[in-house]
Chains A and B, each alone.
Chain A
Amino acid sequence: MLAKELAGLLDMSEATISEIENNKRSVKAYEIAEIADALGISAIALFDPNSFSSSIPVFARTGGASTSTEKVQRVVRWYADFKEILDPHIQRDLELFNARPRVEIGEDFLKQSKDLAAWCNEKLEGWRTSDDKFMALKFEIEQKFGFDIVLIDAGLEEILGASLTSAEFPLIFINSSILKQRALFTLAHELGHMLSVTDSPLILDYKLKDENNVEKFANAFAAEFLMPESLVKEAYERHQFAGQFLEELLKTCGVSWQSLIYRLHNLRLINSKVRSVLLEIGALGYQAYVLDKNKLEVDLLPYEVPLKAAPGSILAEAAKRAFIAGDLGVNPTLSMSGFTEEQLASLYPPPGATSTEALDVDLEEFKNMGVTTEVVEAPSLTDENRVYA
């Protein structure tokens, strides 16, 4: 961005920007924040080149970024700014993640993605039997792989998800405004990135198109992980190509009609003509066709409870611990933990109480989180204890 363009975004002259750039004028803290907001980067990254925030890619505003993309970028940099504060409070188990089969994405990405997906299906088996497959998979990935999945309400625009593939601070972001079946595929796609990419810290995903081998790999991984060839073919053996076949796969895999039809075509169970027709008529059209032709009732459009914004479970617990230790403020704790103000207030001791008493309110929950309830001196806010300086 040129100094002239930046000056246009700020209440500053081009000459002032130029003086700042050339170290001829000191910069005030609010000016750093204004410049950082205008550029779409972290103020801490701008001020401190040694911070973790500055180690992830600069999200410089280029003029083409949409509101939803900017929102995801803002949340990514917001989390990154707290990395150093949260670090001592984060309890994540990366043993399984570190034991993953190593992948060098090349021309044989199909075979590699299939092998990695098979390994993942061995490790992540609980989510498939859940009624809410997305949330079950989210929780299982967080618990077993040790990285957080944050749901952001980024609106019905093009961004679907993002991966911060840093081994120090692994995070997946999913746009909670998209349909749940699409979100599940996006989550599996981002999982593919997290397990295979090491040299590109941040990946933003828009339409999950096969733009390069990294994206092709992640798509192939997601398809094989959610709809394993063996599972699809077993169902085919049982039903042949009947209504129940599609119903069973949609329910078992939790994917969208579109993903399933593409998968069947890629597995050569349907030809391209059938694929086109099925995509054209959609699940509703096929459901009506089956009922009309075979008098067979199938449910291809199960109702799904929409997703909503939600924090990652590991960081949420770390935020609560950091809050209790006095390392994290109220507002970031609320954003990161998903707590309400009332729930958070219950962690703050009432006047005259020790924090242990306050913690008793929610002790069971904190026992489950593994938080120790050490006694901290309660801040007293009574008039008698105030000393005017």
Chain B
Amino acid sequence: MAQPVIYDTCLLSHVAEIGYLHILDFLYKDRPEPRWTPAVKREVTKGAAIHVFCKQILALTWLGEPQEPQDTNAVLHLRNQLSSQDDPQTANMGEAESIILAREVNGSFMTNDFGAYYRAGEKQYLAPNRVFSACNALNEAREYGKLSPIEVEEAHNLIRAKRRMICDCRLKLP
């Protein structure tokens, strides 16, 4: 049985910003909910005051209702693990909730945040085979014929032009 894929704010906003949200819908719409958490929705809602792409995320019906992880203590401790000394205590809450929720529902976690990506890949959380990035989604879309290799490369370049991107695919990009 297919398992849920939980997205964090970083992943959703990077993919939304380059206009590729439909890829997530195509690839994972048949997977069961949950797909996001209250903290992620909160972060996207705050972002909607500034960014149009955040409004597009909020308008997605297939994201469904956010689900809160049961283990709040684990969320707070993991959030600390993802944050530096100068961060407010709300920083990285979306990533922390998403990782703990993915662990609780035996799902996967998709992020473009470096710290969250590597932390989630540790055995005590999800292990590497349950953590993915936008790079993986783009390549999966290519395998299904939804995107051409040129479109995948273009999407990589678009994300890289705006943000840092986790990329472990074989694309030889400048």
State how many residues of chain A have any CB contact under 8 Å with chain B. 38
Instruction: Give Cα A71 to B76, complex, Å.
Output: 20
Residue B80 is within 8 A (CB to CB) of chain A in the complex: yes
Question: In the complex, which of the residues B39, B96, B122 contacts A379, with contact meaning CB atoms closer than 8 Å?
Answer: B122
On chain B, the residues within 8 Å of A47 by CB distance are: 72-73, 76
A interface SS class: helix
B169 touches A383 (CB 8 A): yes
- A329-B68 contact given A32-B76, A380-B128, A389-B130, CB 8 Å threshold: no
| Min CB–CB distance B73 → chain A (angstroms) | 6
- B residues less than 8 Å from A78 (CB atoms): 80, 85
Q: Confirm or deny: A36 has a beta carbon within 8 angstroms of a beta carbon on chain B.
A: yes
A65 at the A/B interface (Cβ < 8 Å)?
no
Taking the complex as formed, is A385 at the interface, i.e. its CB lies under 8 A from any CB of chain B? Answer: yes
From A33, A74, A331, A383, give the contact of B82 (CB < 8 A): A331
A34, A44, A348, A381 — most chain B CB neighbours (10 Å): A381
Q: A29 with B93: in contact, given A386-B128, A389-B129 (CB under 8 Å)? A: yes
Closest to B89 in A: A33
A306-349 at interface with B (beta carbon < 8 Å): 326, 328-332, 334-336, 348
Interface residues on B, range: 35 or more
Collect the chain A residues with CB atoms within 8 Å of residue B94's CB.
30
- 13 A/B residue pairs, CB under 8 Å, sorted by A: A30-B38, A43-B89, A44-B80, A48-B73, A75-B85, A82-B80, A326-B122, A332-B85, A379-B118, A379-B128, A383-B169, A386-B128, A386-B129
Enumerate chain B interface residues (CB-CB to A < 8 A).
2-3, 38-39, 42, 68-69, 72-73, 75-77, 79-90, 93-94, 96-97, 106-108, 114-115, 118-119, 121-124, 128-130, 132, 136, 139-140, 168-170
